């Protein structure tokens, strides 16, 4: 997160809602773009303590980069046990 937004990071830390909504409220800057990467991983001890799962279970790490009108605004990383995550996408073909 750029230094100008560091105070916002403290306000939204641990947020369980939609992160960019909170960012927009505190910064006054709308999020214009989000890039997301979802990667399969093996969960470590720390992640399993937070997620109530067993070390070594398969899981997913979702990394999101948020951009406002001035460029990069923040990055979030979340972990999910493999049996508690679903990703759904729909493609519509327009002629």
- 24 pLDDT more than 80: yes
What's the pLDDT score for residue 59? 94
Q: Is the pTM of this model over 0.85?
A: no
Computed on alpha carbons and rounded to an integer, the radius of gyration of the chain in Å comes to 16
Q: What is the mean pLDDT of residues 56-73?
A: 91
Surface-to-core class of residue 36, CB atoms within 10 Å of its CB (0-12 exposed, 13-18 middle, 19+ buried): exposed
C-beta separation of 29 from 69 below 8 A = yes
Which pair of structure tokens corresponds to residue 1? 């997160």
CA distance 58 to 40: 7
- According to DSSP, the residues that pair with 33 across neighbouring strands are 67
What's the pLDDT band for 41 if we cut at 50, 70, 90? very high
């Amino acid at each position: 997160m750029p230094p100008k937004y560091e105070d916002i990071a403290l306000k939204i830390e641990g947020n369980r809602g939609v992160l960019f909504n909170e960012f927009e409220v505190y910064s006054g800057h709308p999020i214009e773009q989000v890039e997301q990467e979802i990667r399969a991983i093996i969960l470590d001890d720390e992640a399993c303590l937070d997620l109530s799962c067993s070390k070594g279970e398969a899981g997913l790490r979702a990394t999101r980069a948020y951009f406002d009108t001035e460029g990069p605004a923040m990055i979030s990383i979340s972990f999910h046990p493999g049996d508690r995550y679903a990703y759904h996408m729909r493609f519509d073909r327009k002629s």
